[in-house]
Amino acid sequence: MQRGTLGLARLALFAVMACGPAHAQQHLPRNAQGFLENSNTFAVAYALSFHSYDACGDPRHGEIARKAIVQKFMGCPFSPQAKAQFQSDLATALPKIRALVASGKLRNPKNCERISRLPSYAADIASLDSFESNPNTLPGMVDFPCDTVPVYP
């Protein structure tokens, strides 16, 4: 990802996770058995959590956010194949993303500062802290329907 697109990537994460259903324009289709197959919203949210937290010096909240994203995903009516593919994709991508974070290539101080000043940021951090101590209550940042299509600003 080029340096100029990092801000959009972080904003996309917040569009997916913070704006929630009020800003969703459409919903993902279900297959003939009623299962969802397209896990892109969750894959995008998972990947972009690295930009919003880890690359901004907060890997603890990044890990908590990813745990919440996966927990939400697993509770959604995705097909068994979609769930297996999602987990496989994460396992494949995780070492590469972690290497990018460690290299500092994802860090963009201006965007980190902008994100930390978003009105929803403090609430998201508090929600993640609450989720860490009580994983039965998902944080507000993943309070969107399972069939939400990502909305980009």
Task: Convert the pLDDT of each residue in 50-81 to its tens digit.
Answer: 988 999 999 999 999 999 999 999 999 999 99
Q: Examine residue 89 and state whether it is found in any structural domain, yes or no.
A: yes
Assess contact for 90 and 82: CB atoms under 8 A: no
Q: Let me know if residue 147 belongs to a domain.
A: no
8 in a structural domain: yes
| pTM greater than 0.85 | no
Residues 115-133: tens digit of each pLDDT: 899 988 889 999 999 999 9
Q: 128 CB contacts (<8 Å, ≥6 apart)? A: 61, 64, 65, 68, 139, 141
Q: Above 80 in pLDDT, residue 23?
A: no
In a domain, 18, yes or no: yes
Please tell me the distance from the alpha carbon of residue 58 to that of residue 77, in angstroms, as a whole number: 31
Host H or E run for residue 97:
helix 80-103
Q: 151 lies in a domain?
A: no
| Contact present, 81 and 39 (Cβ < 8 Å) | no
46: which residues sit within 8 A by CB, 6+ positions away?
Answer: 66, 69, 70, 90
Structure tokens at 72: 């939400």
122 within some domain: yes
Is 93 a member of any domain? yes
Name the token pair of 98.
Answer: 């972690």
Query: Closest Cα partner for 41 from 22, 61, 63, 24?
Result: 24
Q: How many residues does the chain have?
A: 153
Residue 130 in any domain: the answer is yes
Residue 116's domain comprises 3-142
Pair 17, 45: CB distance under 8 Å? yes
- Which residues does residue 27 pair with via DSSP β-bridges, in sequence order? 148
Query: Domain tally for the chain?
Result: 1
Return the percentage of the chain with pLDDT > 90, whole number. 48
With pLDDT > 70 as the criterion, what percentage of the chain qualifies? 81
SS3 content of the chain, % helix, strand, coil (to 5): 65, 5, 30
